[in-house]
Amino acid sequence: MSTWMPLIVARKEIKVILRKRSVVGYVIILPFILAVLFSLVVQNDLISNGTISSNYSLGFGDLTFFFVVFSAIIPSSIAAYSIVGEKIEKSLEPLLAAPVTDGEILLGKSIAAFLPPILAIWAGGGVFWTATDYLTHSILSFDYFPNLNSGIMLFLLAPAAAIMSIELAVIASSRVTDVRGANQIGSLMFIPFMAVFVASVDGVFPFTTFNLLIIFGVVGVADVMLFYFSKSTFKREEILTKWK
């Protein structure tokens, strides 16, 4: 596999993505909306009369984990469009007919679906961290963010969740002929992460450093397995000759 070919494919894909205003708005704006809403939660529900409210069930780390959940949702729309959408718009055939391997095509498309959402997620998480520190510093007498657990969530788990979502969406978009169907299948990837969130809130599986690293290890192994599975299910000849 040539190092440059996936990057060339990714650059081409990103140019296509940037022309889709609805996708750009969804990918970029949603994490910042999430950051603003969570900052308002901190201001209005966690802080009362100059103290941290003790009757609120979610902590700052729990709110940060929502960025992991959304990392498993946002990239799927780009990844699902990358094959089915281009096939519908008749722009996929030239790429499939080019002297590029299946692995290079999939890796390039995955890079393009990964970078814009994860950068937006990191930016949104940074806004939430900054706002939370600003709102709580006078009460806590220290900056709560950044810390190890939240760093693991945002910089390890969020990318791993995004990769898992992308690979599932690529698998779906390789086998179905409808963008909406591929997007819906890919977006289901948020369910296991929401299950982990609920388990943490209920105290069954708290967000300790050790538990977060276990989650990251499990997701990382799943990412590797899904990549090879997506590569085995991506059949360019079938897409070129049988899709109508």
**Which phi-psi region, left, alpha or beta, contains residue 165 (left: φ > 0; alpha: ψ -120 to 50)?**
alpha
Listed in sequence order, the residues at least 6 apart from 84 whose beta carbon sits closer than 8 Å to its beta carbon are: 173, 176, 177, 178, 179, 182
Confidence tier at 55 by pLDDT (50, 70, 90)? very low
Q: Global pTM? A: 0.84
Q: How confident is residue 56, by pLDDT bands cut at 50, 70 and 90?
A: very low
Q: What is the pLDDT of residues 173-202, one digit of tens each?
A: 766 666 666 666 666 777 889 999 889 888
Confidence of residue 168 (pLDDT cuts 50, 70, 90): confident
Nearest to 155 by CA among 146, 144, 142, 165: 146
pLDDT of residue 126: 95
Number of H helices, E strands in the chain: 13, 2
